[in-house]
Amino acid sequence: MSIMGKRFTLNKVKWLWSMLILVTAGLLMSGCGKATEEEPLDASRPIYTGDGSDELPQTNNLSGSTWQGVTNEYALRIKFDESDCLFTGYDYVAKKDTTASYAYSFSWPLLTLTPKDDKGGVITGKASNGYNRYTMTFVDSTDSGVWMQVEIRKTTTFR
User: Residue 56: what pLDDT?
Assistant: 56
User: Given pLDDT bands bounded at 50, 70 and 90, which one contains residue 158?
Assistant: very low
What phi and psi values does residue 69 have, to the nearest 5 degrees?
A: -140, 140
CA–CA–CA angle 49, 137, 110 (5° rounding): 85
User: Residue 159: what pLDDT?
Assistant: 34
Residue 66 has pLDDT above 80, yes or no: yes
User: Residue 90: what pLDDT?
Assistant: 92
| Pairwise CA distance, residues 43 & 24, whole Å | 28
Q: Residues 112-125, buried b or exposed e (16+ Cβ, 10 A)?
A: ebeeeeeeeeebeb
46 neighbors 131 (Cβ within 8 angstroms): no
Across the range 70-81, mean pLDDT stands at 89
CATH node for 53-154: 2.40.128.50
Residue 7 has pLDDT above 50, yes or no: yes
Residue 110 has pLDDT above 90, yes or no: no
